[in-house]
Chain A
Amino acid sequence: MTETTKVRVPQTAKGHRPTFFEDPTNDRIMAMMTSMITEMWVMRERLDTVEALAAKKGVFLEEEIEQFEPDPDRAEERERMRQELLSRVFYVFQEEAEDIARGDTPESYEDAINTSADR
């Protein structure tokens, strides 16, 4: 098959893309950040594979990377690493959620500042 007749698998969905912030630029930044963190993980995992293979053999071939399947322990460790990476990048929501759970507000913060000096 020549390049011109190659079937192109659809990459986007029909339907207007919704945005949620007053300024849609923020939605774009969120989308790029979410994609970026994915790509960062892809790199990190590849490196992990390289390290695992290097440790095992001292030398390695590229197809060994392609064929590498993590053993159950390493697979579990990777899941833990992914969760950690996610909580680091999305830490700000954790912070906000905990503020809400504690009942912390800008007013309570202001109040703490104003009163603690006299305590």
Chain B
Amino acid sequence: MTPDWSHDDKSRQAFQRSLRECVIRDLSNGSRLVFENQVSPKFEKENGRPFQNRQEIKAEMRKEPFYQAHLSIQRAAQELMWASVTYSLDRQIDGMMAKAKQSSDTLGSLTINPDMPIPKYIDSLDIHCMPGGYTTDLCDGDISAGAIYDKGSYMYGSGRGGPYGDRSGQSIVNYLKREHPDFAPKRILDMGCATGNNTVPFCDAYPDADVHGIELGAALLRYGHARTESLGKAIHFSQQNAEQTNFEDESFDLIVSCIIFHETSRKALPRIIAETRRLLKPGGLMVHLEAGQFENFDLWRQTVFDAETYNNNEPFWSTYRDMDLEAVIAEAGWSDGTAHLHLEPFGHAPVTSSNKSQKNMLGFWFMVGQK
């Protein structure tokens, strides 16, 4: 089922990666210089005070030709990254679908629910500019969104997700093995699992557990199912909304998610955390992984991240990053002290209270809780 990339496809994809490194590194560095050396001092001189928030910075920076060119090229690079995948998939999708249909499902399972309503927040825009988005379902047996996502998300992360695109899942496993070495979950759920790349590490870490993955996009699930079977792993995939699932109360020992919060909504997010609580057995653990909130970054980084909302089809990104997650946790039924936020830095830097409060630390933020 894996796509055949031609010689030219591979060149195009390798080039998009180099281009991204160039755009992100050089143009971002240039824009930072424009901000720090020119725009910021000028603003201070004229207003007698420094910038107070990212909205002010954005308003001034958007007038700067260098920054305009930076954003314009960054947007084009994002589109061309997907194009380096989708044009070629269009040529081979029929053959790939036929192969995916033949794939055995001796290990895990796949349950598609065509009647599940697709929430507005996931399909009003194609998030990350991924053509067709997560939920386009072209025909019975369609796997195209999965094929686009699998390759595209690898490129999007400049390969940092690893060859299996499972770095986020792996980091949750590492955390659990370190903090809860005796924890032996029997039923595990990954919410918003897409193609299951980040679900697979749980099969390896807890070989005796039943591993489930739920997701809104049918074509993501079909592809994920075929991929997982071909890897020889057992995952039970079903098309369900994490706000309200059909699983029974207290039926999971471990519930995780990888970077889904910022793609939901103000209403859906608390529901997902409440649903997590309903599904967990007493003593069970939740670990939801996300990118950092705005308060963890300086104003310039905030401005850079905020640009994603407007220029990379991330409608909820900025709102999410400003939300008071502690309050959301409490409202969703996690009483005092049963859930908290935790920073897991990239690499193996130990978490200390001093680096935790440091701005601009790069890492995954976990929402951890024990019922």
Contacts and interface: CB of A to CB of B under 8 A. Distances in A.
Interface of A: 1, 6-15, 17-21, 26-27, 30-31, 34-35, 37-39, 41-42, 45-46, 49, 65-66, 68, 78-79, 82-83, 86-87, 90, 93-94, 96-97, 100-101, 103
B144 A7 contact: yes
Contacts of B80: 34-35, 38
A31 B79 contact: yes
A45 to B, nearest CB: 4
Contacts of B68: 20-21, 26
Contact of B12 (A21, A27, A42): A42
Interface stretch (B124-132, B254-262, B285-293, B358-366): B124-132
Contacts of B136: 10
A9 B90 contact: yes
Contact of B18 (A18, A82, A103): A82
Contacts of B97: 7
Contacts, number: 156
Contacts of B139: 7
Nearest to B144: A9
B15 interface: yes
A91 B239 CA distance: 48
Nearest to A16: B125
Interface stretch (B29-37, B161-169, B341-349): B29-37
Contact of A35 (B8, B66, B76, B130): B76
B330 interface: no
Q: Is the interface of B mostly helix, strand, loop or mixed?
A: helix
Contacts of A20: 62, 67-69, 71-72, 75
Interface stretch (B19-27, B181-189, B210-218, B317-325): B19-27
A11 B144 CA distance: 11
A82 B15 contact: yes
Contact of B131 (A11, A18, A39, A101): A11
26 contacts: A6-B94, A9-B86, A9-B144, A9-B148, A11-B86, A11-B87, A11-B90, A13-B133, A14-B125, A14-B133, A15-B124, A18-B310, A20-B71, A31-B79, A34-B19, A35-B76, A38-B19, A41-B15, A42-B11, A45-B7, A87-B22, A87-B26, A94-B26, A97-B66, A100-B34, A101-B33
B86 A10 contact: yes
A8 B94 CA distance: 10
Interface size class of B (residues with CB under 8 A): 35 or more
B131 A30 contact: no
Given A11-B131, A42-B11, A97 B29 contact: yes
Contacts of A26: 68, 72
Contacts of B12: 38-39, 41-42
A83 B21 CA distance: 9
A5 to B, nearest CB: 9
A86 B90 contact: no
Contacts of A41: 11-12, 15
B357 interface: no
A66 B14 CA distance: 15
Given A20-B72, A37-B19, A42-B12, 6 more contacts: A11-B90, A14-B126, A15-B125, A20-B71, A21-B72, A46-B8
Given A20-B72, A42-B12, A83-B22, A13 B38 contact: no
Contacts of A78: 14
B93 A9 contact: yes
B122 to A, nearest CB: 11
Contact of B132 (A9, A49, A82): A9
Contacts of A7: 93-94, 97, 138-139, 142, 144
B18 A68 contact: no
A116 B53 CA distance: 43
B102 interface: no
A78 B93 CA distance: 30
Contacts of B67: 20
Given A66-B6, A66-B7, A79 B72 contact: no
Contacts of A82: 14-15, 18
B280 to A, nearest CB: 35
B89 interface: yes
B313 interface: yes
A42 B129 contact: no
Task: Specify which of B18, B68, B123 lies most central, judged by the most chain A CB atoms within 10 Å of its CB.
Answer: B18
